[in-house]
Structure 1
Amino acid sequence: MLEGAKSSAHFRLVIVDGKAYVERFRPSIERDVFTLWGILQLLRVYPGKLPDLELMFDCFDRPVIPKGNAPPPLFRYCSDQWSSEVVFPDWSFWGWAEINIKPWRDVLKDIIEGSKKTKWKDREPYAYWKGNPKVADSRKNLLTCNVTEQNDWNTHLYIQDWEQESSEGYKKSNLGDQCTHSRGMVPLKHYWPIKDDNKCPSLKFAVEWGNTHTQQAQAIGEAASKFIQEEMEMDYVYDYMFHLLNGYAKLLNFKPTIPSGAVELCTETMACGLSGTQRRFMEESMVKSPSDSNPCIISPPFDPVTLHDLLEEKANSTRQVETWEDQYWKNKNKGE
Structure 2
Amino acid sequence: MIIQSQSIRLGITTTEDRAGNATWEFHVDRDGTHHGLSDEQCQLAFPKLFVELDKSAGQRREKKGTPIRYEEIAGPLDDAMVRGVIYEGDLYILDVQGMKATFSRARATLSSLHRALQAFPGRRALPNIEFILTTEDFVQRTNEPVWAYSKRAVDEDKDAVWLMPDFGYWAWPEVQIGPYEAARQRIAAVDAEVPFAEKKKQLVWRGSLAPSPELRGRLLRAARGTSWASIRVLDWEDADDVRLNLLPIEDHCRYMFLAHTEGRSFSGRGKYLLNCRSVMVSHRLEWREAHHAALVASGPEANFVEVERDWSDLERKIEYLIDHPDVAEKIADNAIRTFRDRYLTPAAESCYWRHLIRQYASVCDFEPELYTSSEGRKQLRGIPFETWILS
TM-score (norm 1): 0.70
Q: Give the AA of the match of 2:147.
A: F
The question of 1:174 aligning with 2:285 is answered no
**Corresponding residue for residue 32 of structure 1:** 106
**Corresponding residue for residue 210 of structure 1:** 321
Q: Which structure shows the higher strand fraction?
A: 2
Aligned-residue offset at 1:108: 1.4
Q: Give the AA of the match of 1:219.
A: K
The CA distance in 1 between the partners of 2:74 and 2:232, in whole Å, is 43
The question of 1:238 aligning with 2:309 is answered no
Structure 2: 5+ residue stretches without partners = 1-71, 253-257, 259-272, 275-290, 373-379
**Corresponding residue for residue 257 of structure 1:** 369
The CA distance in 2 between the partners of 1:172 and 1:139, in whole Å, is 17
The CA distance in 2 between the partners of 1:170 and 1:266, in whole Å, is 39
The CA distance in 2 between the partners of 1:173 and 1:266, in whole Å, is 35
TM-aligned CA distance change 1:144 to 1:4, over 3 Å? farther
TM-aligned CA distance change 1:143 to 1:265, over 3 Å? farther
| Maintained 8 Å contact 1:155/1:203 | no
| Maintained 8 Å contact 2:236/2:242 | no
The question of 1:143 aligning with 2:220 is answered yes
Q: What's the CA shift string for 1:106-130, capped at 9, x where partnerless? A: 1111221122232222222222112
| Maintained 8 Å contact 2:202/2:230 | yes
The CA distance in 1 between the partners of 2:324 and 2:243, in whole Å, is 39
1:191 to 284, 292, 304: 304
Aligned-residue offset at 1:169: 7.2
**Corresponding residue for residue 61 of structure 1:** 137
| Maintained 8 Å contact 2:139/2:146 | no
**Corresponding residue for residue 277 of structure 1:** none
1:126-165 correspondence to structure 2 within 5 Å: 126-136=202-212, 137-148=214-225, 152=226, 154-164=228-238
| Maintained 8 Å contact 1:16/1:52 | yes
| Maintained 8 Å contact 2:190/2:251 | yes
The CA distance in 1 between the partners of 2:183 and 2:146, in whole Å, is 29
The CA distance in 2 between the partners of 1:224 and 1:132, in whole Å, is 26
**Corresponding residue for residue 99 of structure 1:** 175
TM-aligned CA distance change 1:271 to 1:244, over 3 Å? closer
TM-score (norm 2): 0.61
Q: Give the AA of the match of 2:341.
A: E
CA RMSD between the two structures: 2.8
TM-aligned CA distance change 1:127 to 1:236, over 3 Å? same
The CA distance in 1 between the partners of 2:109 and 2:219, in whole Å, is 30
**Corresponding residue for residue 146 of structure 2:** 74
The CA distance in 2 between the partners of 1:48 and 1:176, in whole Å, is 38
Q: Give the AA of the match of 2:218.
A: N
Q: Which structure shows the higher helix fraction?
A: 1
Aligned-residue offset at 1:270: 5.0
The CA distance in 2 between the partners of 1:262 and 1:142, in whole Å, is 49
Q: Give the AA of the match of 1:48.
A: R
TM-aligned CA distance change 1:127 to 1:252, over 3 Å? same
**Corresponding residue for residue 14 of structure 1:** 85
TM-aligned CA distance change 1:97 to 1:126, over 3 Å? closer
| Maintained 8 Å contact 2:165/2:349 | yes
The CA distance in 2 between the partners of 1:95 and 1:61, in whole Å, is 16
Partner secondary structure for residue 218 of structure 2? helix
**Corresponding residue for residue 227 of structure 1:** 338
Q: Give the AA of the match of 2:332.
A: G
